[in-house]
């Protein structure tokens, strides 16, 4: 009885895990579709990253593809957990293991390519400063205002990018990064954005590690449920249901 109760707990934990996995996949699909159909989001990405539309669309389809895979894997896991179906559980285990290996590979690649990513981000931010603030699209103006207000900076690659008509978000009154003489922030935004990214890289890495641990937990739970089902299958009498019924009838 204790073993049965424990397996029920494993089954419900696996179902809950896959439900979250399914929701995450739905979120990724939604984000990918939103970026693909929203003109404002496409304009911001195109101007910020200095990418052509083909690359931006490829990124959207990548989000949708990854989300769709998560939806399928979550479906296999949920159905396998509820039905205790070994075929679905085995499929779920294989998919999750492949995803885990892929995540580790992406993490290693991200560490190796971190300097290139910083350079790419800086070039994208600096590109915005090629125009005057007043000549930017309204979407980019809101993006610039967000950066300058959030990171307490002025301009993209130089604090004089918007001279002589500075936007209000460049103005400041006090603080270590505020120039008391000009009344504007001392540092450009590209440095501050990259510095903030580096400060938060620990949290990003921690989040990725957390996702990996959750995936490992899902793999362990699916293995436990799979092995439990196999033991129960070995415990059946030869001939299965119809064979045992026939013997009882005879």
Model confidence pLDDT, tens digit, residues 174-221: 888 899 889 999 999 988 888 887 777 777 677 777 777 877 888 887
**Is 155 within the bounds of a domain?**
yes
Decide which of 239 and 88 is more confident.
88
- How far apart CA 128 and CA 50 sit, in angstroms, is 9
Return the CATH number at 146: 1.10.1450.10
pLDDT digits 0-9 by tens, 109-132: 777 777 877 788 888 888 888 889
pLDDT average, residue stretch 133-155: 90
Distance CA 150, CA 86 (A): 51
Handedness of CA 38, 39, 40, 43 (dihedral sign): positive
- Decide if 206 is inside a domain: no
Q: Are residues 60 and 41 in the same domain?
A: yes
Question: pLDDT averaged over the chain?
Answer: 76
More confident residue, 171 or 101: 171
Q: Which domain holds residue 191?
A: 118-196
Q: Is 70 a member of any domain?
A: yes
- Tell me if 202 is assigned to some domain: no
17 plus 71 within the same structural domain: yes
CA nearest 215: which of 114, 111, 106?
106
- 95 and 12 together in one domain: yes
Domain count, the chain: 2
pTM of the model: 0.56
Q: Are residues 6 and 96 in the same domain?
A: yes
**Is residue 103 domain-shared with residue 13, that is, in the same domain?**
yes
Assess whether pLDDT exceeds 80 at residue 237: no
Phi then psi for 184, rounded to 5 degrees? -130, 165
């Amino acid at each position: 009885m204790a073993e049965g109760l424990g397996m029920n707990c494993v089954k419900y934990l696996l179902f809950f895990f896959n439900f979250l996995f399914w929701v995450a996949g739905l979120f990724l699909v939604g984000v990918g579709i939103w970026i693909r159909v929203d003109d404002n989001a496409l304009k911001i990405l195109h101007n910020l990253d200095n990418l052509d539309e083909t690359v931006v669309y490829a990124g959207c389809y990548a989000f949708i593809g990854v989300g769709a895979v998560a939806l399928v894997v979550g479906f296999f896991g949920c159905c396998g957990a509820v039905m205790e179906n070994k075929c679905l559980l085995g499929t779920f285990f294989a998919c999750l293991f492949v995803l885990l290996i892929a995540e580790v590979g992406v993490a290693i690649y991200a560490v190796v390519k971190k300097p290139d990513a910083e350079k790419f981000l800086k070039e994208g931010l600096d590109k915005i400063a090629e125009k005057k603030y007043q000549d930017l699209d309204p979407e980019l103006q809101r993006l610039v205002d967000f950066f300058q207000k959030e990171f307490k900076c002025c301009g993209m690659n130089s604090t004089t990018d918007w001279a002589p008509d500075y936007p209000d978000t460049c103005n400041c009154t006090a603080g270590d990064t505020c120039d008391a003489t000009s009344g504007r922030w001392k540092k450009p935004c590209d440095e501050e954005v990259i510095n903030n990214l580096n400060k938060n890289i620990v949290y990003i890495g921690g989040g990725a590690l957390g996702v990996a641990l959750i995936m490992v937990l899902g793999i362990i739970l699916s293995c436990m449920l799979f092995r439990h089902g196999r033991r129960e299958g070995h415990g059946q009498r030869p001939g299965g249901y119809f064979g045992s019924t026939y013997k009882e009838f005879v």
